[in-house]
Amino acid sequence: MTVEFRKDLFADERDDNLNEIGKPTQRQDALGHVTGRSPFFDDHLFDGLLHLRCVRSPHHHARIRSIDTSRAERMPGVVRIVRGQDVPVNLNTLLSLLDFGRDDEPLLSVEKVAYKGEPVAAVIAETERQARDAVAAVRVDYEVLPHVLDVEEALAPGAPVVNRAYPNNSFDYHDKYDHQKLRFGDVEAAFAQADEVVEGRYQMSPIEQAPTETNGAIAAPETNDRFVCYTSTQALFFSLGTAAKLLNVASNRLHFIGGTVGGGFGGKVDSLNEPMAILGCMLTGRPVRYVFDREEEMQVGAPRGAERWYLKDGVMRDGRLVARKLTGYFDSGAYTRLSSYAIVKCTGHIPGPYTIPNVHSDVFCVFTNRTPATAMRGFGVTGVDFAIECHMDKVARAIGMDPVEFRILNAYRDGDMKAHRREAKNCALIECAQVAAEKAGWPIREAFRQMSSLRDGGGERARIPHTVTDEHGRIGERRAGGTATPARPAAPRYAAMPPAPVAATPPAPPPSVSPPVAPPPVASAPVPPPAASPPAASPPAASPPAARPQPAPPAVSPPSAEPYQPSQPFQRGVHRPGAGRFSSISGTRRR
């Protein structure tokens, strides 16, 4: 690996006497991997090992009328049938260990299923083949219910209730709102004064982490009434705490052993296999192996959740962003898992690494009848970052500006005020963009090559503007019809222009002018009009083409249920049904 140290950048801030970076350091597990000696959880086999397989729902949403296991119980090799009634505490949410959110997901469903593949029973047998045959012999009588797979349809009045703990189909934040808010300045006043307003819609589909080693665990009885669990989890103590809660045992009775993880990428933190394997061990007194096959990994292994984003930017002709409005929808699937926290992280990243004096965002954690979502690389940030950077390109095209120069112009400088009311420090996007342009042979003008994260920040750019707040989106309003689902934005005033071709030779340097800087924050007062002559370093605005018509959003059906209201107010130290400790830090988190 070759590392280039740019001595010309931040030379007085960095110690280049590094112990690892840039040096050929061998991984601790490298020798075991190349010799085939690295121990994985599935290498720990036991005499008398039993195998567990789950009976899964073929429907997205259905009520369980009955489960007939009589035939399966008589099949060869079957040792035990496990039902939801056998789980000591058959309701959990992963972040309950941090007092965040309500218990909403059963280990084995008893009354209804909320996604295709949800387990309703388990078979423990002497061999894998016998367990699979017995699963096929279990008969479940379902009453199929209406289901919803789209995040915006799930928020509409009259949509099927996916998750009984959250009957409005959205996670509750601060025991008050059905979404996570961020408000900074006055975006509507800024939009009214902006030279251009550019809108866009961005969609990310669910992504399966697809580890080479699927999720799994092996549990076995130990002495002193303890149980050992060999597991592929990425979060050993998190899985231990989850298993202790579901099985209603003291955590010191559980001995968890991790080790080499055969690929995880965020997809091995949901702790589904460990409690089931331990429960099977408790019920049979023998070692039990519970491992997803590849089909299960793809169908019920929790993916990165789908996201949908609507962005609206106000920009001046000289390239200064003056307002950004975002509405985001995270598809949590049928249960919360970790998605509620992803929204907190996502809101902490808005509006991206750019100084924008007016920011407004609403981000929803939505329940649909899809497989519950979980973490994956860059959890909570990757999707919104994709949307923001796609939109940055679109806005740059709309005003006829180079996309790299557009980013450099609006990037954080040290001392700028973020939308979360925290000062930007150790900024480096400008320098990263300059070096990337240099390495790629992408021509940028001299004025932009001379800009720095160390200059022109703070001052007016550090001022916290007067902020317009609101009470929209209180829990239950949307389902009762008091507040409609946020409308999909109308057609942009200015449609995106095709990318401008890059000249074969670098453009001529601009006249000698001071490099342009980003604007001061816009408060409730009108945004000042741009100067008669924009900075020479910025190109003239392009003539916008006519906006294209966009169909109106579909009509929603009338409400069919009473709005939900929190059952009790917040009291410190008292368990409560709404969001807990993490919900209070949104809006004040550092990026």
Whole-number average pLDDT of the chain: 84
Average pLDDT score over residue span 105-124: 98
Q: Which two tokens stand for residue 300?
A: 């019920």
- Confidence check: pLDDT of 367 > 80: yes
In the block, tokens 């609507």 appear at 310
At 383-417, the pLDDT tens digits run 999 999 999 999 999 999 999 999 999 999 999 99
The DSSP line for 172-213 is -BTTTBSSEEEEES-HHHHHHH-SEEEEEEEEE--B----SS
Please report where in the chains the tokens 């932009």 appear, as a residue.
Answer: 448
* pLDDT over threshold 90, residue 553: no
CA distance 27 to 485: 50
Q: Which CATH superfamily is domain 48-145+210-299 in?
A: Aldehyde oxidase/xanthine dehydrogenase, a/b hammerhead (3.90.1170.50)
pLDDT score of 253 more than 70: yes
pLDDT tier for residue 290 given thresholds of 50, 70 and 90: very high
Structure tokens at 57: 């729902």
Predicted pLDDT of residue 483 = 56
- pLDDT above 70 covers a percentage of the chain that reads 81
Q: Is 90 exceeded by the pLDDT of residue 128? A: yes
Q: How far apart are CA 442 and CA 445, in angstroms?
A: 10
How far is residue 84's CA from residue 353's CA, in Å, rounded to a whole number? 47
pLDDT of residue 58: 98
Q: How far is CA 228 from CA 43, 74, 282, 404, in A?
A: 14, 30, 11, 54
* Cα–Cα distance measured from residue 369 to residue 219, given in angstroms and rounded to the nearest whole number: 31
- Arithmetic mean of pLDDT, 19-33: 85
% pLDDT > 90, the chain: 75
pLDDT band at 1 (very low <50, low <70, confident <90, very high): low
* pLDDT tens, residue by residue, 455-475: 999 999 999 999 999 999 999
Average pLDDT over residues 251-279: 95
Instruction: Provide the 3-class DSSP secondary structure of residue 372.
Output: coil
Domain layout of the chain by residue ranges:
48-145+210-299, 155-200+319-504+513-591
Contact 159, 61 (CB under 8 A): no
Start-to-end CA span in the chain (Å) = 29
Is residue 481 over pLDDT 90? no
Cβ(72)–Cβ(84) below 8 Å:
no
With vertex at residue 413, the alpha carbon angle to CA 309 and CA 514, rounded to the nearest 5 degrees, is 115
188-245 pLDDT, tens digit per residue, is 999 999 999 999 999 999 999 999 999 999 999 998 999 999 999 999 999 999 999 9
Using CA atoms, how far apart are residues 19 and 36, in angstroms rounded to an integer?
29
Of the listed ranges 255-269, 338-352, 466-480, 546-560, the least confidently predicted one is 546-560
Alpha helices, DSSP H only, in 204-272?
236-247
Residue 338, burial from CB neighbour count under 10 angstroms (0-12, 13-18, 19+)? buried
Average pLDDT over residues 334-346: 96
Answer yes or no: is pLDDT of 551 > 60.
no
Amino acid 501: pLDDT: 36
pLDDT (tens digit per residue) in 66-78: 999 999 999 999 9
Give Dmax over CA atoms of the chain in angstroms. 89
Asked whether residue 580 carries a pLDDT value surpassing 50, the answer given is no
What distance in Å separates the CA atoms of residue 575 and residue 233, rounded to the nearest whole number? 28
Rounded to 5 degrees, φ, ψ at 335 are -135, 170
- CATH for 155-200+319-504+513-591 (3.30.300.30, 3.30.365.10, 3.40.50.2300, 3.30.1540.20): 3.30.365.10
- pLDDT on residue 47: 96
Least confident of 109-113, 191-195, 375-379, 491-495: 491-495
pLDDT exceeds cutoff 50 at 320: yes
Q: Is the pLDDT of residue 421 over 90?
A: yes
What is the reported pLDDT for 489?
Answer: 44
Residue 487: pLDDT over 70: no
Q: State the Cα–Cα distance between residues 393 and 396, nearest whole angstrom.
A: 5
Q: Do domains 48-145+210-299 and 155-200+319-504+513-591 have the same CATH topology?
A: no
Mean pLDDT of 559-569: 37
CA nearest to 491, candidates 312, 315, 309: 312
**Contacts for 512 with CB less than 8 Å, ≥ 6 apart:** none
Task: State both tokens at 544.
Answer: 């916008």
Q: Classify residue 275 as exposed, middle or buried by CB count within 10 Å of its CB (0-12, 13-18, 19+).
A: buried
What would the DSSP string read from start to end of 477-537? HHHHTSSPPPPPPPPPSSPPPPPPPPPSSPPPPPPS-PPP-PPPPP-SSPPPPPPSS--TT
At residue 479 the predicted structure's pLDDT band, cuts being 50, 70 and 90, is: confident
The whole-model pTM stands at: 0.81
Closest CA to 377 of 291, 303, 283: 303
What value does the CA radius of gyration of the chain take, rounded to a whole number of Å? 27
pLDDT at 2: 67
3-state secondary structure of 569: coil
- pLDDT for the residue numbered 398: 98
Enter the tokens of residue 39: 């121990």
Q: What is the reported pLDDT for 525?
A: 36
Burial code (b: 16+ CB inside 10 Å, e: under 16) for 481-501 equals eebebbebbeebbbbbbeeee
- Compute the half-sphere exposure of residue 520: CA atoms within 13 Å on the CB side of its CA: 13
The two three-digit tokens of residue 136, written as one number? 């096929």
Sign of torsion, CA 355 356 359 364? negative
